[in-house]
A and B are shown apart, each in its own frame.
Chain A
Amino acid sequence: MSILSLQNVSKSFESLKVTDGVSFDVPKGEALGIIGPNGAGKSTLFNLITGNLMSDNGKIFYDGRDVTRVPAMRRCLNGVGRSFQIPQPFEKLTVFENLVVAGAFGRDTSEAEVTQACAEILERTEMIDRANVPAGQLRLLERKRLELARALATDPKLLLLDEIAGGLTDAECQSLIQTIRDIHKSGVTIIWIEHVLHALTSVVERLLVLDFGRVIGIGEPGEIMESREVREIYLGIEV
Chain B
Amino acid sequence: MAFFIEVLVGGLLAGLMYSLVALGFVLIFKASGIFNFAQAAMVLFAAMFIAGMSGEWGVPLWLAIPITIVLMIGVAWVVERVVLRPLVNQEPIVMFMSTIGIFFCLIGIAEIFWGSSSRTLDVGIPRDPIFVGNMLFQTYDLVAGGIAVVLVLLLAAFAQWTRMGRVLRAVADDHQAAQAVGIRLSTVWVVVWSIAGFVAVVAGVVWGGNLGVQPVMVDVAFKALPVLLLGGLTSIPGAIVAGLIIGGGEALAEVYLGPIIGGGIQDWFAYMIAMAFMVYRPEGMFGEKIIERI
* Chains A and B come from one and the same complex: no
List residues of B whose CB falls within 8 A of some A CB.
Answer: none
List residues of A whose CB falls within 8 A of some B CB.
Answer: none
